Amino acid sequence: MNNGYSKDLDDSLYTGAMFQSFFKDSPQSVVIKANTPHFTILAVSDRFVEISLKSRAELLGKNLFDVFPDNTKDPSGKERAFTAITEVMKTKKKVDLPIYKYDIYSSETGKMEPFYWSNSNQPIFNEAGEVSYIVNTTSNVTAQVMLKEMAATSEENLVLQQQRLNKMFLKAPMGMALYSKDDFVIEYANEAICKMWNKGAPEEVLGHSIFDLIPSLQEAGYREIYKQVVETGIPYLSKESPVTYDRNGVMETYYFDLNLEPVYGPKKEITGMLSLANEVTEQVLTRKNIENAEERLRLASEATGIGSWDLDLQTRDIIYSSSLADLFGYPGVTDLSHEQLRAVIHPEDTGAVEVAFQTALISGKYNYQARIIRPDKVIYWIKVTGKVLFSREGTPLRMLGTVMDITESKHEEIQKNDFIAIASHELKTPLTSLKAYAQLLKTGKGVSDPTFVSSIGTRIEGQINKMTKLVYSFLDLSKIESNKTELTKELISLNQIISDVASDYLFQEKNHPVTFEPEELPLIYADRHKITQVIDNLISNAIKYSPQGGKVIVTAKRQDQEVLVSVEDHGIGIDNNHTQKIFDRFYRIDDLQVKNASGFGIGLYLCADIIARHEGKIGLQSEPGVGSNFYFTLPVQPGH
């Protein structure tokens, strides 16, 4: 018969040296290809090699039922195994065989020997959702079955059964022990369970109570469990039971699948207990590590607001994380459809999203940025990235991806673009004026008139001063961004600084007289240039946002251990919606009365940073149509 051993590219994962090396040491048994009726063996573990009585070379690449033909007189085991495997392919679910008889050939005896097995068959799917491979995990339970048979057999056959059992029992990979009924004295133990206990050879543990041998078992409550089995006759089964004991000089927790069975005497009375233990510590710890890693990934994803999703492109069914539902404004909702999620997209962006989706079905890469309108009517920006999985024929099957909230960065990007446009405009205006004055002087007209030349010079100086302020604002912003802002502190007089700044506006602002009536103030330890910059900016803003003219009032007074400076205007005022953001970088009020005012949203941001570095506070009180009062405080030095 053709062994059906496939050299397909997909098989290379299992037939490759790396997987073979990994799988041979694993607790699993065998990987078979779902190529019915051949079921080619692709990988086997060392444990399976031991219990199969075959060499690795006799197994790899061969058909499962060619290697294990079963007894021709009673092929029921082979039939049950074949049915179980084909059932996996049909139902696409795990299929277990608790206990069944399947004879295999023993080179030691030269004939087919009866064995009893327990196994499970786990499907592995391809991208199309079909079963491509099956992981068969098998345990040899012959000794367990024989023990039960021995307890029920006649005394005449007892010795023969014991001899056969002894051979199977001692070398079985599963840990086995037989205890007396009264104090659970070890009457029989195989090599596997002695290795688990780390207590030497079987002959060294016989005659000892298991609770004297491993006292921590009693502390963990296992004596009561053992007593319950021998008193009620009800077996005890548990998966991944934790047991803490000293195995290698250190108290550690190990995990076992346990099966405790009562043992009966000739008169059907309970005489003891059989313990079957399969250590699963490695599997449990591996799973816990994976679960921990997944949990850390989930928490990290939730903490960063990243949502994940998995879309079936054939049915449009979607699975998504809780953080995605939160982002879309549906916290706790787990049954949103793909159509419902699509409906949240901003109407102006739906076209671009659909183009990105259709492109992904061809290229395999899904990528777009768009706005969503949540149920609370708040607009968010999202960034979506995904990958399409195709079948061998090129049919798109699934799309996997993530969704990230980029609202803040998108707003910042928009603000930066606005800033560049405004900054360009602000620099262009004085440059245009300077160019006009230069051309006027170049003509030579009026050069002999000292008054004319003085007037032109004053205007040029004003435009240069305006550009200088803009350039220094850029430099200050750059220093804040790189955290290189430095203060040169000295004892300064706030009254003197305010008076100097107010004097500068005395002649250039006829419609906005700046008034300041000094009060007695202590000297302040601060950076003269930076504080001058703050006061100048606040007065400049007060004038700018009072288009109809009006007095600007500056006050400075002591309040306990602080000096409070305020700049009050009677201009258009600022709505409360903006008062908390007015000091943010690049923030400009989206209001028709304000939008046409010059400036690009960094002046107040720089002021806030300067005052914060002086350990002071800055704030705003304002009412639309009435005016605004910007204020800041600076600490008074002890002794002043």
The model's pLDDT over 490-499, given as tens digits with 9 standing for 90+, comes to 999 999 999 9
pLDDT in tens, 41-94: 998 988 888 888 888 899 999 999 998 888 888 888 899 999 999 999 999 999
pLDDT in tens, 349-395: 999 999 999 999 999 999 999 999 999 998 999 999 999 999 888 88
Q: Please, are residues 554 and 565 in contact by the beta-carbon 8 Å criterion?
A: yes
Q: Please, are residues 616 and 636 in contact by the beta-carbon 8 Å criterion?
A: no
DSSP structure class, residue 359: H
Residue 31: count of CB within 10 angstroms of its CB: 24
248 and 121 belong to one structural domain: no
pLDDT at 605: 83
Question: Does residue 514 sit within a domain?
Answer: yes
Q: Average pLDDT in the 565-588 region?
A: 80
pTM, to two decimals: 0.37
**pLDDT greater than 90 at residue 630:** yes
**pLDDT greater than 50 at residue 596:** no
Lowest mean pLDDT among 109-113, 156-160, 466-470, 611-615: 156-160
273 and 351 belong to one structural domain: no
% of residues, the chain, pLDDT over 70 = 79
pLDDT in tens, 111-137: 888 888 888 898 888 877 888 899 888
Tell me the C-alpha to C-alpha distance, in Å, between residue 100 and each of 78, 120, 288, 311: 10, 12, 32, 41
374 and 423 belong to one structural domain: no
Tell me the C-alpha to C-alpha distance, in Å, between residue 305 and each of 329, 340, 399, 504: 12, 20, 20, 51
Q: Which domain holds residue 53?
A: 17-146
First to last CA, the chain: 104
Question: Does residue 474 sit within a domain?
Answer: no
Q: How many domains does the chain have?
A: 5
510 and 599 belong to one structural domain: yes
Question: Does residue 346 sit within a domain?
Answer: yes
User: Which of residues 379, 404, 429 is at a domain's end?
Assistant: 404
78 and 128 belong to one structural domain: yes
Question: Does residue 377 sit within a domain?
Answer: yes
Question: Does residue 363 sit within a domain?
Answer: yes
Question: Which among 573, 556, 581, 570 has a CA at the least distance from the CA of 632?
Answer: 556
Give me the sheet containing 251-264, strands edge to edge: 186-189, 175-180, 270-279, 251-264, 236-246
Q: 171: buried, middle or exposed (CB in 10 Å: 19+, 13-18, 0-12)?
A: middle
Q: Please, are residues 59 and 44 in contact by the beta-carbon 8 Å criterion?
A: yes
DSSP string across 151-193: HHS-GGGHHHHHHHHHHHHHH-SSEEEEEESSS-BEEEE-HHH
425 and 365 belong to one structural domain: no
What CATH code is carried by the domain that includes residue 235?
A: 3.30.450.20
Helix (H, G, I), strand (E, B) or coil at 408: helix
Question: Which among 20, 108, 95, 2 has a CA at the least distance from the CA of 60?
Answer: 20
629 and 537 belong to one structural domain: yes
User: Which of residues 404, 437, 457 is at a domain's end?
Assistant: 404
Query: 438: which 2 tokens?
Result: 């230069």
416 and 399 belong to one structural domain: no
425 and 387 belong to one structural domain: no
**pLDDT greater than 50 at residue 7:** no
248 and 206 belong to one structural domain: yes
Query: Could you tell me the pLDDT band of residue 164, with boundaries at 50, 70 and 90?
Result: low
395 and 423 belong to one structural domain: no
pLDDT in tens, 251-283: 889 999 999 999 887 778 898 899 988 888 888
Question: Does residue 58 sit within a domain?
Answer: yes
**pLDDT greater than 50 at residue 182:** yes
* Close Cβ partners of 23 (under 8 Å, ≥ 6 residues apart): 14, 31, 43, 44, 45
Type of residue found at 234: I
334 and 439 belong to one structural domain: no
The gap from C-alpha 291 to its chain's centroid, in whole angstroms, comes to 12
User: Which of residues 240, 258, 285 is at a domain's end?
Assistant: 285
Question: Does residue 366 sit within a domain?
Answer: yes
What CATH code is carried by the domain that includes residue 618?
A: 3.30.565.10
Question: Does residue 386 sit within a domain?
Answer: yes
